[in-house]
Structure 1
């Protein structure tokens, strides 16, 4: 694990980008969440991600760890019927430097178009003016450990989490990076844990956030909320890339 010391007051962020963890969740129902993607390097699963067009996947910028390909089309990414597609380009937000400074978002350009169908679908993005209310229930999914000391699992798991008041979240952390959403973690025993990164926070069938960071020292009963990149603040940036098929200069 890596301990990152935040330039914001009193914020100490401990997170790990390998694998993914869903705490107190359940197996995702078959036929659901066909937009989920396993983002991988030569050693296997690194982070989650989600398909937004035939040739673009969204994930977290801090997942940039020698990425090679993505796996689509199955809740168990080790199944023989899943689709493996190489990554041709990575578009990391130019303002990203560390999760504690925000802008933890990256688009992956696929070398070939994903074969859309029953097992592979895109997820729409939240609109810029979409409103999220405190205690509104969303979902987050990923592959990996169910407790911080366990081993990885192969099947996609999902858990429901509720939106947390931004000011309460900011107070808990002692400060927050710009353009984030807080949901799950503190006030509950559900959420993500060490490295459930890049996956979507979903409300009403749309991706509203991207798993960014939490307090990795205390995952099952965390003392701070889970933090997500707010997709609503990056819609124009995403649309520009997907339209022009290239990273912005």
Structure 2
């Protein structure tokens, strides 16, 4: 359980605008064709991209809890270019937010999206596996994060999926930079690098060795090119039991 001091600190940071939802990809490149086919664009009723996500079964997408919004209506899969119509557009049937989620800076920033119908796998779409209940990420281990959006601070949104390599930062080092860091998170990219994510495209996966190990959660406000704080992700391995329980309720 977070101490009252940590909770108050994170609320103060949030009020000051220092916690910012991620992630537009910074210092990355266009994702190669036919790669990362698990990526999902969570969109509103106007067809605008709101958040990222990733497919874990034929009927479920994982995203960030802070992405929850009444305007979200559907998920788009199967195309890196959001302006290209060759994709699967599926309505959202239900959104399940972790019961302990309160605020992005307090952790538990994870959401499951139940699709209204099964995805057709094999048409530019595939499932990404989740890590086992415990993972051991090493310092400086290189992983990937992907998303749609700005490629620099105050830049313009992009239509094509971008991807960048980021290095894992130990929890000890991350806690030193983020006093009051919530439990069950992974830090990678951002701090002391030009690579990572920025505002506006949360919910995408941190991918290590072919597993979706993290969900893009938050970074340090308004400094994406040379951020002074590490990028923070929800640690999926800590939520495997919750995910499995949710999936069972629909089968």
* TM-score, length of structure 2 as denominator length: 0.91
Deviation at 1:39, TM superposition (A): 0.4
The CA RMSD over aligned residues, in Å, is 1.6
Residue 136 of structure 1 corresponds to: 141
Alpha-carbon spacing, 1:20–1:224, altered in 2? closer, same or farther (3 Å):
closer
Instruction: Give the Cα separation in 2 of the matches to 1:77 and 1:148.
Output: 21
Say if 2:44 is the partner of 1:41.
yes
C-alpha contact (below 8 Å) 1:197/1:212 kept by paired residues: yes
Gaps of at least 5 residues in structure 2 are 1-5
Q: How does 1:194-213 map to 2 (within 5 A)?
A: 194-213=199-218
Instruction: Give the Cα separation in 1 of the matches to 2:161 and 2:198.
Output: 15
Q: 1:51 aligns with which of 25, 30, 55?
A: 55
Alpha-carbon spacing, 1:127–1:29, altered in 2? closer, same or farther (3 Å):
same
Q: 2:107 aligns with which of 83, 87, 102?
A: 102
Residue 13 of structure 2 corresponds to: 12
Residue 3 of structure 1 corresponds to: none
Task: Tell me the alpha carbon deviations over residues 181-200 of structure 1, each in whole angstroms, 9 at most, x when there is no partner.
Answer: 00000021100011230000
Say if 2:192 is the partner of 1:187.
yes
C-alpha contact (below 8 Å) 1:50/1:123 kept by paired residues: yes
Q: Is the partner of 2:169 in helix, strand or coil?
A: coil
Q: Is the partner of 2:118 in helix, strand or coil?
A: coil
Residue 3 of structure 2 corresponds to: none
Which of the pair is proportionally richer in helix?
Answer: 2
C-alpha contact (below 8 Å) 2:20/2:220 kept by paired residues: no
Q: 1:91 aligns with which of 71, 96, 100?
A: 96
Q: How many residue pairs were aligned?
A: 240
Q: 1:62 aligns with which of 66, 85, 93?
A: 66
Q: Is the partner of 2:189 in helix, strand or coil?
A: strand
Instruction: Give the Cα separation in 2 of the matches to 1:144 and 1:78.
Output: 13
Task: Tell me the alpha carbon deviations over residues 40-59 of structure 1, each in whole angstroms, 9 at most, x when there is no partner.
Answer: 11231100000000000000
Instruction: Give the Cα separation in 2 of the matches to 1:130 and 1:168.
Output: 18
Task: Tell me the alpha carbon deviations over residues 63-120 of structure 1, each in whole angstroms, 9 at most, x when there is no partner.
Answer: 0122110000000122111110000000000000101110000000000111111400
Q: How does 1:97-176 map to 2 (within 5 A)?
A: 97-176=102-181
Residue 32 of structure 2 corresponds to: 29
Q: Is the partner of 2:175 in helix, strand or coil?
A: helix
Gaps of at least 5 residues in structure 1 are 1-5
Task: Tell me the alpha carbon deviations over residues 138-190 of structure 1, each in whole angstroms, 9 at most, x when there is no partner.
Answer: 00000011012111110000000011011111111112011000000002110
Task: Provide runs of 4+ in structure 1 moved above 3 Å.
Answer: 8-11, 13-17
Instruction: Give the Cα separation in 2 of the matches to 1:151 and 1:129.
Output: 38
Instruction: Give the Cα separation in 2 of the matches to 1:223 and 1:79.
Output: 36
